[in-house]
Structure 1
Amino acid sequence: MASIVRRPSGRWQATYTAYGREFSKSFDRKVDAVAWARSAEQDIQRGAWMDPRRSRIAVDKWIDIWLPTRRSDLRATSFERLQSICDRHIRPWWGQRQLDHITNAEVRRWSADLQHHLAPRTARKVLLAFRQLLSAAVDDRRLAVNPAARVPMPADHGAERAWMSLEEAVALRDAIDPKYRAVVLLGYWCGLRFGELSALRRCDVDVERSRILVRRTAQQASGRITFGPPKTGAGRRTVPVSRTVMRELCEYMDAYTDTSAESLLVTTAADTPLNRQNFLRRVWRPALKSAGLPAELTPHSMRHGYASLLISGGFSVKEVSQWCGHASTSITLSVYAHVASQQEDDAPERLETLLSGFDTD
């Protein structure tokens, strides 16, 4: 049983025992002391009690404990991104605060500040990382509740994406250094991510069946490039390729790819794997300028163009989702909904063609 005693100062001291240790706290009012002790005893009975000393750790220290545990479940690039978010955004604001001193209201004010200074998508990533940090503290029985759990995520209305059109892709293919022409062929006409095409080997090209086998992806972290499996099971896939594009790829491999089955399809002039930053600076941007194309186009713009082209061409969402390596068709629908809506514009004409053989009289 908890004890409630009045101290000489006039304040009320509540004391309870948990697992052989006593815990005390003083209050101005007896009713508050009773409520505090009663709540602690109820938590003990329910198995929900936590040692309050464990929540008195600073956020900086908790990051140092929690962050290394994420290495095992995150890719190297994702871990570096999370580490950067902690160092650039979480530590400066919360680093010296104790976990048990963080309130929901303060997290909401911080979220508003993030949205004022950062792009919506970046603000979402920062708040999500903070939620995960505090959720881990709950799991470690350092916090009873996560003060960031019910803070609304910053709205992300999505910046206007730079979609590459077929005409732009053709212009880029013709303008880019021939050594890197396959980047455009694989990015626009096959829909591969930059990491996927960078990891592609000669043995991953099934010429007879006109297919590309996506079995791995390139990961770049701390200046090093390594190869590993796709992030999701959907990323491991077989992508059909038009016969015309396959002939162009074969011509490219004959000219620039080593004959070994394990040879990378596209490499640098020094026969090393593509480094994204170097490629953008030395090859991609000069090619855009030479072709007279918008500077905001990125390698991912080719992938968006590929998917949009397929949907406009009448391929099913399921096919597009599978060939793009999306985790679900809902992702395909959400990203390319504008293409489907454009298709609806000519719905009456398409219905007329479909139903023209039926006499309604």
Structure 2
Amino acid sequence: MPFSTLCQLYLDDKKEHSKLITYETKKNRVDKWLLPYFEKCSIDSISAADIRKWQADLKNSVNANDQPLSPGYMQNLVTELSIIFNFAVRFYGLSINPCRVAGNTVGQKQKSLNFWTKEEFDRFIDTFKHSDPYYTAFLILYYCGLRIGEFEALIAADIDTKENTITISKTYHLINGEGVVTSPKTAKANRTIIIPLFLSECIQRYKGMIYGITPETRLFMASHSSYAGQLESHTKAAGVKRIRLHDIRHPYVKSMTKKLILFFQTM
């Protein structure tokens, strides 16, 4: 079986059994980094040595910004290729996964938790005018621990400013240029959280500025790149260390983890 045929069978299977965003991510990896190298090879002819040569090529490759691929991204590609060969072993009679023999020569993801202290966030948020929609947006991201897709999917009905709660039941993705709302990342991601009174009042004021608002109105319509751009420029203005958009939620997550630990210790 040609490797290209195996990839198509694998992607067809993932399309049936995975979320669309997961399928699109896998298809992008296959089309850009796997097929150009292995497309015409038969799957039983690809050796561990071939895999190691491919990994060496990855280490000399660059991304769309002409930057070297990160170890984390290369590890994702190596893992994806190994999953495809496991698929062939399980369903199409391949005797061995050559990736298991080749091992991983590209490095591992660096798992570091980067976040702002409360003082750093205060310096950052003080660079916004209170009437700026991004002021409300970053307050929600910091104090509620939402992933950016969960935040972008919020509609007016999700926020109860009388009970001071936000309900997270969906996430927003941009797939092939089209906005798509799906269920959250995991089943546990469905949740209702209590928000501080000052944030509830801030959101209520923000809702009042949206013309023709209905319960189904998406509250924050800016693009992902717009939030990232605002984060970058206001980080510089505040003179605090750079973090990723995703990292804003880490203090909330750490705080909730500590509360859970204390709760179980008292049981």
TM-score, length-scaled by structure 1: 0.62
Gap regions ≥5 residues in structure 2: 62-68
Q: Distance in 1 between matches of 2:262 and 2:14?
A: 33
Which of 95, 120, 140 lines up with 1:144 in the alignment?
95
| Matching residue of 1:104 | 48
8 A Cα contact 1:71 1:79, kept in partner: yes
Structure with larger Rg:
1
Equivalence for 2:17: 73
Matched, 1:291 2:238: yes
Change in CA separation of 1:69 and 1:176 when aligned onto 2, cut-off 3 Å: farther
Question: Which of 217, 220, 227 is the equivalent residue of 1:263?
Answer: 217
Residue 165 (structure 1) aligns with: 117
2:223 aligns to what?
Answer: 275
Aligned residues: 253
Letter in 1 for 2:82: R
For 2:219, give the aligned amino acid.
L
SS at match of 2:21: helix
Quick one: distance in 2 between partners of 1:159 and 1:236? 25
Cα distance in 1 for residues equivalent to 2:262 and 2:87: 36
Q: Which residue number corresponds to residue 196 of structure 1?
A: 150
Contact 2:168 2:190 in 1 (8 A): yes
**Counterpart contact for 1:163–1:301, Cα < 8 Å:** yes
Q: How does 1:1-361 map to 2 (within 5 A)?
A: 57-111=1-55, 114=58, 118-149=69-100, 151-153=102-104, 155-156=107-108, 158=110, 160-176=112-128, 178-256=132-210, 258-267=212-221, 274-281=222-229, 283-294=230-241, 296-310=242-256, 314-317=258-261
Cα deviation digits, residues 188-228 of structure 1 (max 9, x gap): 01100111111111111122332210011101111111111
User: CA-atom RMSD, angstroms?
Assistant: 2.6
Bigger relative contact order, structure 1 or 2 (CA pairs below 8 A, ≥6 apart) = 2
For structure 1, which runs of at least 5 residues remain unmatched after alignment?
Answer: 1-56, 268-273, 320-361
Aligned partner letter, 1:302: I
**3-state SS of paired residue (1:315):** helix
Q: Secondary structure at the match of 1:78?
A: helix
| SS at structure 1 position matched to 2:192 | strand
Please identify, of 214-223 and 97-106, the stretch whose mean Cα deviation from structure 2 is larger.
97-106
**TM-score when normalising by structure 2:** 0.82
User: Structure 1 vs Structure 2: percent identity of aligned residues?
Assistant: 21
AA of the residue aligned to 1:164: W
Deviation at 1:104, TM superposition (A): 3.0
Contact 1:77–1:219 at 8 Å: present in 2 too?
yes
Q: 1:222 to 1:251 in 2, by over 3 A?
A: same
